A and B are shown apart, each in its own frame.
Chain A
Amino acid sequence: MQTTSDLAKGVIIRHQNDLYVVRKIEFVSPGKGSAFSRVSMKSITTGKTIETTYKSGENVDIVDVERQRMQYLYKTGNKYSFMDQENYEISEVDAEVLGDDAKYLKEGLDVMTISHEGTIVAVELPKKVQYKTVEAPEAVKGDTASGRIMKDVKLENGLMARAPAFIRPGDVLLINTETGEYCERVNE
Chain B
Amino acid sequence: MSQIAHLMNNKEKLEFKFAAVKAMREFFWSRGFSEIETPCLVRCPGQEPYLSPMRTIVHDEHGQSYKMYLHTSPEFAMKKMLAAGFDKIFYLGKCFRDFESFGGLHNPEFTMLEWYRTGVDYRQIMDETEKMFKFVVIKMKNHRLLSSANARLVEKKWSRVSMRDLWRERVGVDLNDVLSAKKMAALCRQKGFSAAANERYEDLFYKIFLNKIEPRLGLDAPTIVHNYPASMAALARLSKQDKRYAERFELYFDGLELANAFSELTDAREQARRLRQEQRLRKKLGQEVFPIDKEFINALKSGLPECAGIALGVDRFVQILLGCREINNVLSLPMKRLIEDN
Which residues of A line the B interface, CB within 8 A? 16, 26-36, 38, 51-53, 55, 58, 147-150, 162, 164, 179, 181-184
Contacts and interface: CB of A to CB of B under 8 A. Distances in A.
A182 B6 CA distance: 8
A26 B104 CA distance: 6
B2 A149 contact: no
Contacts of A31: 48, 50-51, 72, 97, 260
B9 interface: yes
A181 B328 CA distance: 12
Interface residues of B, number: 38
Nearest to B215: A51
Given A150-B8, A179-B326, A34 B100 contact: no
A169 B92 CA distance: 45
B210 A29 contact: no
Given A36-B206, A147-B11, A150-B11, A182 B106 contact: no
Nearest to B234: A32
Nearest to B144: A148
A27 B50 contact: no
Given A35-B50, A51-B215, A29 B104 contact: no
Given A16-B192, A26-B105, A52-B211, A34 B5 contact: no
Nearest to B102: A27
B101 to A, nearest CB: 4
Contacts of B338: none
B101 A34 contact: no
A184 B205 CA distance: 47
A104 B260 CA distance: 40
B206 A55 contact: yes
B341 to A, nearest CB: 10
A115 B50 CA distance: 37
B50 A29 contact: yes
A26 B255 CA distance: 12
A84 to B, nearest CB: 31
B257 A30 contact: yes
A52 B214 CA distance: 11
Contacts of B207: 53, 55
A34 B72 CA distance: 15
Given A33-B205, A147-B12, 11 more contacts: A26-B105, A27-B101, A28-B106, A29-B50, A29-B106, A30-B50, A32-B234, A35-B99, A52-B211, A147-B11, A183-B5
